[in-house]
Amino acid sequence: MDNQPKQNSGLTGKTGRIMLVIALGSLCGLIEVVLGGLLAQAKFPYKSGLLAGLGFGIIAFAYAIYKKPLMAFWIGIVAVLCKQLVVPVLGLSVMCKMNSCLAVVLEYTALAGVAAITMKRMKTKGGYRLLTGGSGALIGSVAFLFIGMHVAPCEYLLGFNQAGGFVSFLYKESLSWVVFSSVLFPIGWVIGEKQANRLALLYQNKPRLAYAGVSAIAAICWAICAIAIAGGF
């Protein structure tokens, strides 16, 4: 039995897709702001890897339903906008969070690129889901190192700009991104497959409730992000 929603359902329509991108992007932004702040306070050594993996898991949820690789990029843009609430809330410069925002955009864009190649195989082969998550994380992390040193340099990144620095970055940063993403991306895909029919039926039978629900998720995430940022996260 095909467990994908019918093509004429509101879920797979353009409006449903855009609404889900906004909701999931807001959720990714919430994770980046709140969980990222908590992990930073706890000095968790693999913070970036865990955040990347959770974000990839959320994107995999959308991929399982829509099979649209570019969704990762747009989800990343929404997440970045959540992080940039530091501008209106605290009156800071856009460049204040540029380093971490660049990381989000690059890793999600890399995932979109890899998914464009592997999407057909991911539909039926779980190994390709693991490969997609891990490869996207690896490419995104390496791109962040080289592009970040020029666009949004910080002491941490510049520390790898020496002999042997690239190899050090691979095991200090890239490895954790790859491990978390390889595990959480397939999990997100499975959850998306299991929920596809329920979401499709909700959009078909109770479209107003569906749109209200995803709008509420986005609004709540943005509100919590703003409160957290005002509180020092």
Nearest to 132 by CA among 194, 188, 80: 188
2 within domain boundaries? no
Q: Which amino acid is at 65?
A: I
Copy the structure tokens of residue 180.
């978390």
Q: Is the pLDDT of residue 118 over 80?
A: yes
Q: How many domains does the chain have?
A: 1
192 within domain boundaries? yes
Confidence (pLDDT) at 58: 97
Q: Is the pLDDT of residue 127 over 90?
A: yes
Confidence (pLDDT) at 26: 97
212 within domain boundaries? yes
1 within domain boundaries? no
7 within domain boundaries? no
Confidence (pLDDT) at 7: 43
Confidence (pLDDT) at 41: 93
Sign of CA dihedral 178, 184, 186, 188: negative
Domain span at residue 66?
14-230
8 A C-beta contact, residue 82 and residue 35: no
| pLDDT, tens digit, 9 for 90 and up, residues 152-168 | 777 777 777 665 688 88
| pLDDT, tens digit, 9 for 90 and up, residues 165-202 | 888 888 888 999 999 999 999 999 999 999 988 888 88
22 within domain boundaries? yes
8 within domain boundaries? no
182 within domain boundaries? yes
Q: Cα separations (Å) of 70 from 10, 40, 86, 210?
A: 19, 30, 27, 23
Bigger pLDDT: 148 vs 31: 31
